[in-house]
Structure 1
Amino acid sequence: VKTSLCLLWVSSILSAPVNKERQKLLLISFDGFRWDYDRDVDTPNLDKMAKDGVKALYVTPPYLTVTSPTHFTLLTGRYIENHGVIHNMWFNTATTEKKPYYPTQFVNDWWDNGTLPIWITAQRQGLKAGSLHFPGTASSYQGQVAMVREIEPPLYNYKNETVWQDNTDKVMGWFKYQDLDFVSMYFGEPDGTGHKYGPDSPERREMVKQVDRTVGYIRQSAELHGLDNSLNIIITADHGMSTVYRNNQVEAITLYKIPGFSFKDLSFHLVDYGPSGMLLPKPGLLEKVYNALKGAHPHLHVYKKEEMPARLHFAKNDRILPIILWADPGYVINGVLQSNKGEHGFDNENMDMKPFFRAVGPAFRRNLEVEPFETVNIYPLMCHILGIQPEVNDGHLTATKHMLVTSEAPQGQVTITFCLHPKSLSSLLQDSNGIDHYVLQ
């Protein structure tokens, strides 16, 4: 005898924003803007944005806390092990070739790895999308690109405030004259200044003032282009920044000085990139390399890939090498080759790695400060505002939907009755995001 259960599914539709005009969305990243950078600088425009919209105390990026991987998480809502853009640098372990950040933007199969960014998803569902300088813009995904896009040229000056304003007006023109629904926009500061001078430097504080002026200019440009009633603006960052200890402040982490460790035992390595590193030992030498490094320095963390803490979501990908290293805040690996006074790439639980978050527009509530959340949750929020069905992702709308303007009462209910085999019931309920309640009959 076949047994079935009937499931009465009652779903209240999340109230739409009070404003009825079609919602547009601008996602902006100011690279390396730490969550507390507005605390030692006068930031009237960021302050006004918080009063007019939503501010999070901070947000938590995924690990590894470097630029391309964390930006691709913003675009996809996936942890880094799931979207596969695991590093700023493309590399080939067979040839030992590596590419720096900018050339890596043009290695298509590094990005087009099975996960679709929000530009492509939006366009497939009838919307128009664009991107200016955002990491990943140069690639195509399953043969498609953002319909309007601009990639920064080589040796680009990320600091020029006049160019920032020109780019802002260009993007607002895309919304107004080309009727785009979504644009992602990237600014390379205050990351560069934080690296060069350190996060506690007067130079960084001056750059934060420039960012704040630009936030004011962005909102002014939106108003001048007549976008007040339709454009939502989310401003965040990929990671924070931490001061690097130098000279006699610390015992440096210098791998070749560690007893029992030899670079000759490796087929490939990435160990000159701030506080993080990955190693591919030669066949049969994994245990030797691991045992030499494990516990060799009090501020160096050494993990076999399969032993990585699950909270970091940085293990389950073939691109991730068998041994993973990272240093405590303030320390870098093989720092003799580096001169930066500030770095990122540390554990994402460290407060210095947390970015900021602001949001304003007709979809958002006003003068609301919310608790911290993970940046994987920004993607489903953006999909909801745009009215598109998200791809599979690691975020949850429940983490952010309290930011949104809703009507006084739900706009309606949908009641659906399913009759199904018990084995199908559990999988259905696992997919019931947004369901208020259900009744078994």
Structure 2
Amino acid sequence: MRLELFLVVVAVVCAAGKPTSKAAAGRNKLLLISFDGFRWDYDQDVDTPNLDQLVQDGVKAKYITPPMLTMTSPSHFTTITGRWVEDHEVVHNMMFDDKTNLKLPHKLTLKKSSWWNKRVLPLWITAQNQGLKTASFHFPGGGANYSGQVVDRALFEEFDFPDDNETEWRANIDKVLSWFSEEDFHFVTLYYGEPDNVGHAKGPDHPDRKKIIRQIDRTIGYLREAITRYNLTDSLNVILTSDHGMTTVKKRPQVDEVIINKYLDLFKFTSFEILDYGGFGILTPKKGMEQEVFDALSKVPNVTVYRKNDLPESFHLAKSERLPPIVVVADLGFNLNSRFIVYVNKGDHGYHNAEMDMKMIFRAFGPDFKKNFLSEPFDSIHIYPLMCKLLQIEPAPHNGSLSVTENLLLGPEGPAGTEGPESGGLQGARVSVALLLSMLLFMFNVL
């Protein structure tokens, strides 16, 4: 009798001692979506019922600050690595070599592993090295080879990809969610090229920008419906963000051009420059001419010129080996040109990241996020440790801090895998085991 009772109680103890946290049963998944050029306030002058609902059903930051540089590739790679630009060395949208004068357009640069694989590993690879399946859908950096390691599944954005096709947007969502539900992917990044394109072409104040924001809002509504349809409501966390904002560069009939060649003979004094790219420019003076170049540029109105080594510490750019010696940042709304007026954009970015027009959105929802929570602003670099927390992986070395964003998450009962009396985690299991062992000793004494 004693032996039979002992075996029964031991079986109960073992069952009670088994962790019942979500970490044991399977961790929650994470979808990171970036809408390129979505300025922090773009939803404030447009009817956006689905984005508004996210404020109730998830978390919202008042705005977030991109890294300096406020450009697509540098900013996205900071989000996915948690490193400042001077650390990850993706210092421009264009792959360049100031010694050979190589300059590759942005979309060709996306396929050049040598541009991305410099110093750090992105989150896809770090997660894969800890047993997770990851994918990149058009996300900058997702298609590169990192010293022999590649993202499990990576789709490139083709040169003529239709950035504003709403039917295509919905198809992309269905494809990504099927990866989660049917192939057990854990972490996927999804990139959309709007509202950046319309912001450049028409300007942030144009009615077409508002039109594309309404399209994005419908897409968010479709995403939420699809999450339910794919049975992912209780297992998928979603982060919506961007890479930079946008500002108007044609407020008057004449574009506010800053033509550098009026103040500096580029042929004579420089061996390399990229100056036809919005509010940010870089130059390499010819040997022995750095002081002349710096002095000439210091006289240019509506710009600030820096020697790389003297860049403000808040820029986190001065330690870059790849960045040329001279950096030019235009005042907000002024665009740089090298020799001729060829600028056609009516909106642009690349300006100082402290400018409110450069700030961007942050929304998040899912089983591990609080509801109806408004966060104070934070820097985008802090998204990385938040994602590692959600994925329950050990982060690579990074410059962010989880203390900045962990208040977005649920308390003791979440996120998945954390211990707490209501989560059925190890703490509750230990209490149950102790109680049953006491019962076991009591019954043996009685019998």
Query: Same fold, TM exceeding 0.5?
Result: yes
Q: Is the 8 A contact 1:17 1:405 kept in 2?
A: no
The amino acid of 2:300's aligned partner reads A
* C-alpha distance 39-17 of structure 1, shift in aligned 2 (>3 A): farther
CA distance in 2, matches of 1:177, 1:83: 34
Deviation at 1:51, TM superposition (A): 0.7
Contact persistence 2:203–2:346 (CA under 8 A): yes
Shift of 1:18: 11
Equivalent residue, structure 1, for 2:336: 333
Contact 2:412–2:420 (CA under 8 A) maintained in structure 1: no
Task: Kindly state the Cα deviation for residue 94 of structure 1 after the two structures are TM-superposed.
Answer: 2.0
Say yes or no: does 1:163 pair with 2:171: no
Task: Name 1:36's counterpart in structure 2.
Answer: 41
> How far apart in 1 are the matches of 2:255 and 2:118?
40
Counterpart amino acid of residue 44 in structure 1:
P
Q: What is the aligned-residue identity percentage? A: 48
CA distance in 2, matches of 1:246, 1:332: 12
Within a 5 Å distance, the mapping from 1:347-386 to structure 2 comes to: 347-386=352-391
Counterpart of 1:75 (choices 67, 80, 100) is: 80
Q: Report Cα offsets for 1:4-44 as digits up to 9, x if no partner.
A: xxxxxxxxxxxx99997521000000000000001000000
Match of 1:275 in 2: 279
> 1:112-161 CA distances to partner (integer Å, 9 max, x unpaired)?
11211111000000111111000112211121111122112221111100
**RMSD of aligned alpha carbons:** 1.9
User: What is the TM-score normalised by the length of structure 1?
Assistant: 0.87
> Paired residues, what number?
396
Q: Secondary structure at the match of 2:258?
A: coil
SS of the residue aligned with 1:74? helix
AA of the residue aligned to 1:400 = T
Equivalent AA in structure 1 for residue 316 of structure 2: H
The amino acid of 2:272's aligned partner reads F
Query: Please, what TM-score do these two structures have when normalized by structure 2?
Result: 0.86
Q: 1:160-199 alignment to 2 at 5 Å?
A: 160-199=165-204
2:318 matches 1:302: no
Q: 1:109 aligns with which of 108, 111, 114?
A: 114
**DSSP-derived class of the 1:336 partner:** coil
Q: Per-residue deviation at 1:225?
A: 0.3
Structure 2 residue corresponding to 1:406, chosen from 381, 390, 411: 411
Greater RCO, 1 or 2 (C-alpha within 8 Å, sep 6+): 1
* Cα distance change on mapping 1:388 and 1:207 into 2, 3 Å: same
Give 2:325's aligned amino acid. Answer: P
Return the alpha-carbon distance in structure 1 between the equivalents of residues 336 and 152 of structure 2: 41
How far apart are residue 296 of structure 1 and its match? Answer: 2.4
Please state whether the residue corresponding to 1:392 is helix, strand or coil: coil
C-alpha contact 2:59 2:371 (8 A) present in aligned 1: yes
Deviates more, 1:152-161 or 1:225-234: 152-161
CA contact (8 A) 1:17 1:404 kept: no
User: In the alignment, does 2:294 pair up with 1:286?
Assistant: no
Q: 1:310-332 deviations in whole A, cap 9, x for unaligned?
A: 10111211111100001011100
Letter in 1 for 2:336: I
For 2:27 and 2:35, how far apart are their aligned partners in 1?
Answer: 26
Give matches, 1:235-254, under 5 Å: 235-245=240-250, 252-254=257-259
1:130 aligns with 2:135: yes
SS at structure 2 position matched to 1:400: helix
Instruction: Detail structure 1 runs of 4+ shifted over 4 Å in the superposition.
Output: 16-21, 246-251
Counterpart Cα distance in 2 of 1:46 and 1:252:
36
Query: Could you say what secondary structure the match of 1:131 adopts?
Result: strand
Q: Structure 1, residues 384-422: CA drift from partner, whole Å, max 9, x if none?
A: 010000011110000000010122798379xxxxxxxxx
Shift in CA distance, 17/339, structure 1 to aligned 2, threshold 3 Å: farther
Deviating more after overlay: 197-206 vs 131-140: 131-140
Q: Aligned residue for 1:314?
A: 317
In 1: Cα distance, 2:139 partner to 2:300 partner: 39
Structure 2 residue 93 is the aligned partner of structure 1 residue 88: yes
Structure 1 segments unaligned to the other structure (5+ residues) = 1-15, 414-441
What runs of 5+ residues in structure 2 fail to find an aligned partner? Answer: 1-20, 422-447
1:204 pairs with 2:209: yes
In structure 2, give the amino acid aligned to 1:304. R
Higher helix share: 2
The letter of the residue matching 1:324 is V
